[in-house]
Chain A
């Protein structure tokens, strides 16, 4: 039995305790966090697992909004993936990609692909993964 299964119960909008839906919602919609633009440049290269890191160039308040600066500040101490940034900032991945693309364009962030040498998923990589998984404590 699946009581309360979303989409079948008819009560899909009711927040349950302990779920994200039951927590406070951000008051500013995510699309406003991106300045309302629909199509920033350069976002196609970004993936959930794109690795981001701040540079020393702080985004100036004159050019960037608070959400941009939050992302840059989040990444000052170290690197995170796009999806981790989205989770920590409480933004959808798509909005985070817009922010990151702007900041990379301005030289405030560095981005690299999840796979450093752009190697494909090949046998060598999966074999490495298997060796690593078997070695896990």
Chain B
């Protein structure tokens, strides 16, 4: 199997240098580095954090996660054909892509898992698989290249997942008022838009709250 570069490298512009390498608990890690679930009676939920390459998905997950961010190498089968660069291996039909995730325990016996999913359309089958059963999606955007988030929003809409847009305010990137951003992103009036610094915990929690509030508005008033 081949390995394509992570869709969200550690060199994402917003990420300050870290003294420790990412994915500390790799295959070689012993049980000593494993952060177990505190109890088995919790309700586990997931959100997907998506957006174009380098927009700060992993940064946001790292900011929120109580464990060092982990990643899995997810196997892509059919739709990866044509993207591989392994000459001389014509029968190769799988490739792997790294998916970062983190965990956030929320008061009330809830645990939120945040999956950083690649926004590229060629990863759509993987995206769908990860997004199945998710509460919703955070679509991240960068004011210097807002249009890069369009195909991601299309993917999320196709999946039927409620989403909020989190504009990551990169240092030095032009700042715009919310209504300007909404117009440029062509957002539906009800779609939440939050401006944040993905390195900031309060900002990042704010994006989750905006998304959860929106998910609530989309659920039927009278629970069965």
Contacts and interface: CB of A to CB of B under 8 A. Distances in A.
A17 B17 CA distance: 13
25 contacts: A5-B53, A5-B120, A7-B120, A13-B2, A13-B4, A17-B11, A18-B9, A20-B73, A21-B4, A25-B3, A26-B27, A49-B44, A49-B113, A79-B40, A83-B72, A88-B27, A88-B29, A90-B27, A92-B72, A123-B216, A129-B45, A130-B209, A132-B110, A135-B107, A136-B106
Contact size range, A = 35 or more
B40 A21 contact: no
Interface string B142-170: 00110010000000000000000000000
Contact of B36 (A13, A79, A94): A79
Contacts, number: 198
Interface of A: 1-2, 4-7, 11-23, 25-26, 29-30, 47-49, 51, 53, 73-74, 76-81, 83-84, 86-94, 112, 114-116, 119, 121-136
Contacts of B120: 5-7
Contacts of A128: 108, 110
Contacts of A6: 4-5, 7, 53, 118, 120
A127 B83 CA distance: 43
